[in-house]
Amino acid sequence: MNSKPLQILAILAFAIVMGILTRPLDRSLRRDLGKEKELSSIESIGPGLGQGISFAILGGYRSLVANLVWLSMNSVWEKKDFDSTYARIRLATSVDPRPEIFWLNGARIISNDMPTWRTGGRLADQVSSTSEARKPQREFAEEALAFLRQSETTHKDNPKIYLEKAIIHWQKLNDLRTATELFGEAARLPNAPYHAARIYADLLVKIGKREESLAFLRQLYPTLPDNDIMARKHIVLGMIEDLEEEISENKKN
């Protein structure tokens, strides 16, 4: 007998049961968030997530349940439902905080999508220069950073989390100095993507620290592999040469 249909039915039944079990939690979060506020402080809601369901009983099903919750989030995200979208993002990361994609995409939804929902669906770059857009953009950027802070227990040394924070500070809060620091922290972590170091060096120049950027690149260059195209070793060499020339010219003047 083919067991595949039975497995599918079991998964569907499990999803329905989980929906029933988590519905009180969703309503609780909706009350905490408040219909007027649309989005409350992310850090203040965390303690309430244990109400209505005990994640410990899920055992080896945590990953499955978290994925089902995340899939259910997509349906409310399409409806631009602030409360339910956030509730499901937070629930998925609480059930299983291990998948980095939950944290990264969750932060992007909060910082990129939710401000446009507040401004009537217009793209962020269409309204970012107006006073109308600045307030929600900053508000949701701060909420996204608060959300990412919740990941630190599980993803303390994950460079992608640092990079996500850096991008929010840079592109949403116009805080180039903090963004530069975070790119530097990410670049120094194990398994950091090569581009983190190049962006860090470039941002150091933008904030007026050319000599520090040059020193960093000189230290970085010998560590880069010759046979990995992603390392862009020739580009790093070009950056070094350009900075040496700029610094030399400035000293002459």
What confidence score (pLDDT) does residue 173 get?
95
Angle at 42 between CA 41 and CA 46, to 5 degrees: 120
Q: Over 80: is that where the pLDDT of 12 sits? A: no
What confidence score (pLDDT) does residue 63 get?
86
H helix count then E strand count, the chain: 13, 0
Of 142, 140, 123, 119, nearest to 131 by C-alpha is 119
The residues, ordered by sequence, that sit 6+ positions from 68 with a Cβ below 8 Å of its Cβ are 14, 15, 18
The one-letter code for the residue type at 9 is L
Q: Which residue has the higher pLDDT, 167 or 127?
A: 167
Q: Which residue has the higher pLDDT, 177 or 41?
A: 177
Q: Over 90: is that where the pLDDT of 225 sits? A: yes
Q: Over 70: is that where the pLDDT of 203 sits? A: yes
> How many other CB atoms sit within 10 Å of the CB of residue 96?
20
Answer positive or negative: Cα dihedral of 118, 123, 127, 129: positive
- Tokens of residue 111, six digits: 């910082």
Of 74, 90, 76, 75, nearest to 32 by C-alpha is 90
What confidence score (pLDDT) does residue 44 get?
44
Radius of gyration of the chain (CA): 22
> How many other CB atoms sit within 10 Å of the CB of residue 251?
7
Q: Which residue has the higher pLDDT, 95 or 145?
A: 145
- Tokens of residue 207, six digits: 């904030």
Angle at 113 between CA 121 and CA 155, to 5 degrees: 180
Which pTM was predicted? 0.78
